[in-house]
Homo-oligomer: A and B are copies of this chain.
Amino acid sequence: MKDITIGIDIGGTNTVFGFIDSNGKSWGEGTIPTQTRERFEDYLKDLFKAIDQTIRNSKEDLRVIGVGIGAPNGNYRTGTIDNAANLRWKGNLDLAKLIGEELKVPVKVTNDANAAALGERIFGGAKDMSDFMVITLGTGLGSGIVVNGDLLYGHDGFAGEVGHIIVRPGGRECGCGRRGCLETYVSATGVKRTAYKMLAKHLGESSLRDVPFNGLTAKMVADAANKGDLLAIEIFAYTGRMLGEALANVASVTSPKAIFFFGGLAKAGDLLFDPVREAMEKNILFLYKDKISLQASELGDDAAVLGASALIWNDKA
């Protein structure tokens, strides 16, 4: 009999699940489409069926001891998904309750950045750390903050929205309805916006001048920078500076031992992290100087499922 937790990552397109043991080893996994069903309950039925089949197909005798879920707007305090913009089902979805009733085990829900942070703590580079932060750099900027060894949820379950710190009052329009949020500068989308700003501001030649706005990706900017395109390098320097300044401020609140980076944009590596480090150290309060390590996440592509399963393993640690 092998004790496993089910880690579930609910994305806008697919829902991926995996059976994860206490060492982070996977004993089976599966994927179903997230949004083909009109009713949320029917989607869950599909999910239960896929999980059940995967358990039956396993050669090992698996015992499920809990379910951890990373979901957009997943609320740890209530176990619900609250008004997720990129899911078809509106209102507050009783996710933890419905899954718990079916599978008869503890169910925990949080958002993907929080799950990534717990995954880093249980299975990744933060194993010995009780105070650190994970920044996910994708279309937006997400954050999961661990303090005193546990996730910082806040009174309502929605703490850790570092991407929505206003870093430039009156600055770039943000999807949240305000202006100047960090993620409008530091994210794949932010890099794209900065690219166009720089193309307008400077005269220098750049391969990016041949790409229409809707065709441009952060990866194209990174590739150009790695080939020595000066404008592309300046775009990443600017992005890194904005992030470094913001992290210096966040450090004054939470004083983390390390900050881990995860997600598509994080693959730019030192192109991004060198200016982040420089700006953070330049702007940080003397108390925190040279204390915070910036590093890439040690979790691989299955980080979302590992992180979700860590919601349960963290309680057993």
Contacts and interface: CB of A to CB of B under 8 A. Distances in A.
The 4 closest A-B pairs by CB, nearest first: A154-B255, A155-B257, A159-B255, A131-B155
Interface string A188-203: 0000000000000000
A161 interface: yes
Contacts of A256: 154-155
Given A250-B253, A253-B250, A254-B152, A287 B166 contact: no
Interface of A: 129-132, 145, 147-148, 150, 152-162, 164-166, 169, 176-178, 245, 248-250, 252-257, 283, 285-288, 291
Nearest to A159: B255
Given A155-B291, A158-B287, A162-B252, 4 more contacts: A148-B152, A156-B255, A166-B248, A178-B285
How many of these chains are in the complex?
2
A190 B160 CA distance: 29
Nearest to A167: B249
B162 A286 contact: no
Given A129-B155, A166-B248, A253 B145 contact: yes
A160 B147 CA distance: 12
B154 A131 contact: yes
Given A148-B150, A154-B254, A254-B154, A249 B165 contact: yes
Given A177-B286, A291-B156, A162 B253 contact: yes
A111 B190 CA distance: 39
Contacts of A169: 245, 283
A291 B249 CA distance: 23
Which of A145, A161, A177, A254 has the largest count of B CB atoms less than 10 A from its CB? A254
B147 A286 contact: no
A99 B202 CA distance: 63
